[in-house]
């Protein structure tokens, strides 16, 4: 699934691996860029290809910036196609990210009226336009490094995070972050003299900078702000306290240095569960003393209390409420151990170790002829060895001389084994058997 721009490589070869848009997405669903909207109306009769809605959404810099354009010339452009669009000075090149009826819903979401004065799409981009666009994009990184050096030489408290060139190379937008307001009038003059283009400075926050640059979070996935999150909501440490998380700044901070946006994802679920917990239940009175709240298990509705001389005991929220009402009446339970709630734990799973079936089933049991063939083959092999040996090789070695001092030396037995028997014991045994056996005769009684 690919458009005409990414279904082939730079040389125009369509065979083999798809070149793609460097994002490994599907062009039909808008997966070429980040922050795309799924076109769930593409398979319907009133899809984007047949709809008369003349406004198209075009994305720039891999989806980090999106703008709406009017298609007044009825240009045949689909999702994933590269188009030339009007800009404040000159033209720009972008990729069609959404078209058809869904653009109307997106404009309504962003509070843009349908009769607004929008720029228009000029035409589809050609190979010459794309080559020039690629050359301009390659200069952005070097320009950003040079701009950082110039800003540091002017002693400006700012950080230039990204540089985006216009498609025709006449204008460049510098995105920077700063804690306070920065007077960059002198900086713009130096930039215009150094780069010889029109300069635009745009201040963004730390979260917007992380969304433009991208990265991998502590969860191992792509950052939410650079993949699908479009609205940044305020995050406070109360979200971590409600979820019983340790207030550790290094673990709760994201790539931008701010609190992670994912702290708000499950906050509503925790707040709904905390409604059932009693308030002002840090301590409860018993006959054995004052029990203090140690910890809470929100989803299991358990509260752990401990006396000064005992271990923590889990209590249900309903039982804690009853004890608090008893304390108001001046009554106290005898002991928390008798009030402990039964905690359901997972049943232990018996682990089955590695089991091998080697040796349990023999091949002879499956095929009885296997054993017969092996024995017959071994017997024929032994016969062949005996027949190849000559009688000259089977000579008896002479006995060694007896020493003069018979008391000093032990009597030496005669070596009746052949010479080859000392080297190969396996061949000596069948030789003796062959000599002792009588010759076979056909005269049977």
pLDDT-based confidence at residue 147 (cuts at 50, 70, 90) = very high
Contact present, 26 and 78 (Cβ < 8 Å):
no
pLDDT of residue 288: 87
Residue 61 has pLDDT above 60, yes or no: yes
Q: Same domain, yes or no, for 283 and 267?
A: no
d(CA 334, CA 340): 12
pLDDT of residue 126: 93
Tokens 């799973």 belong to residue: 349
Q: Residue 310: which CATH number?
A: 2.30.30
d(CA 15, CA 8): 8
Which domain does 268 fall in, by range? 211-273
Q: Same domain, yes or no, for 3 and 121?
A: yes
pLDDT per position as a tens digit, 373-400: 777 777 777 777 666 654 444 445 555 5
Q: Same domain, yes or no, for 151 and 83?
A: no
Q: Which of 341, 370, 388 is the last residue of a domain?
A: 341
Contact present, 53 and 70 (Cβ < 8 Å):
no
* 106 is a domain residue: yes
Q: Same domain, yes or no, for 22 and 59?
A: yes
* 292 is a domain residue: yes
Q: What percentage of the chain carries pLDDT values higher than 90? A: 38
pLDDT of residue 77: 85
Give, in order, the Cα–Cα distances in Å from 415 to each of 327, 361, 397, 426: 107, 47, 7, 18
pLDDT per position as a tens digit, 256-303: 999 999 999 999 999 999 999 998 899 999 888 899 999 899 988 999
What angle do helix axes 425-436 and 369-388 make, rounded to 10 degrees? 80
* 146 is a domain residue: yes
d(CA 53, CA 47): 10
Q: Same domain, yes or no, for 9 and 115?
A: yes
* 295 is a domain residue: yes
DSSP state of 222: B
Run of H or E residues at 91: strand 91-99
Average pLDDT score over residue span 119-144? 92
Count CB-CB contacts under 10 A for residue 98.
Answer: 23
pLDDT-based confidence at residue 43 (cuts at 50, 70, 90) = low
d(CA 319, CA 341): 9
Domain count, the chain: 4
Q: Which of 222, 257, 273 is the last residue of a domain?
A: 273
Residue 59 has pLDDT above 50, yes or no: yes
């Amino acid at each position: 699934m690919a458009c005409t721009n990414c279904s082939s490589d730079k040389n125009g070869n369509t065979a083999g691996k798809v070149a793609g848009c460097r994002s490994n997405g599907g062009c039909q669903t808008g997966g070429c860029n980040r922050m795309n909207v799924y076109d769930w109306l593409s398979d319907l009769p009133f899809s984007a290809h047949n709809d008369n809605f003349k406004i198209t959404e075009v994305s720039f810099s891999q989806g980090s910036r999106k703008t709406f354009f009017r298609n007044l010339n009825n240009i045949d452009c689909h999702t994933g196609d590269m188009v030339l669009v009007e800009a404040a000075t000159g033209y720009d090149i972008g990729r069609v990210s959404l078209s058809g009826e869904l653009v109307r819903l997106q404009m309504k979401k962003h509070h843009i009226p349908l009769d607004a004065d929008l720029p228009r799409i000029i035409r589809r981009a050609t190979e010459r336009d794309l080559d020039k666009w690629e050359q301009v994009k390659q200069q952005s990184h070097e320009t950003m490094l040079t701009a950082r050096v110039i800003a540091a030489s002017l002693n400006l408290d700012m950080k230039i995070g990204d540089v985006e060139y216009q498609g025709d190379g006449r204008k460049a937008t510098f995105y920077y972050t700063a804690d306070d307001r920065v007077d960059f009038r002198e900086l713009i003059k130096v930039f215009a003299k150094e780069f010889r283009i029109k300069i635009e400075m745009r201040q963004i926050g730390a979260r917007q900078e992380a969304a433009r640059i991208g990265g991998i979070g502590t969860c191992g996935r792509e950052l939410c702000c650079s993949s699908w999150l479009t609205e940044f909501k305020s995050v406070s440490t109360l979200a971590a306290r409600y979820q019983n998380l340790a207030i550790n700044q290094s673990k709760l901070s994201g790539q931008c240095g701010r609190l992670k946006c994912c702290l708000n994802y499950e906050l509503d679920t925790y707040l709904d569960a905390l409604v059932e917990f009693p308030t002002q239940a840090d301590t409860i009175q018993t006959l054995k003393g004052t029990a203090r709240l140690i910890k809470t298990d929100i989803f299991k509705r358990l509260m752990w209390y401990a006396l000064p001389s005992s271990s923590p005991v889990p209590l249900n929220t309903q039982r804690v409420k009853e004890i608090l009402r008893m304390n108001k009446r001046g009554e106290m339970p005898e002991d928390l151990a008798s009030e402990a709630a039964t905690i359901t734990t997972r049943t232990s799973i018996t682990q089955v170790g590695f089991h091998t079936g080697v040796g349990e089933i023999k091949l002879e049991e499956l095929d009885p002829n296997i054993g017969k063939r092996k024995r017959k083959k071994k017997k024929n092999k032994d016969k062949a060895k005996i027949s190849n040996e000559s009688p000259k090789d089977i000579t008896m070695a002479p006995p060694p001389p007896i020493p003069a001092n018979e008391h000093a030396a032990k009597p030496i037995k005669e070596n009746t084994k052949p010479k080859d028997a000392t080297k190969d014991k396996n061949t000596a045994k069948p030789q003796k058997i062959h000599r002792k056996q009588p010759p076979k005769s056909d005269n049977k009684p």
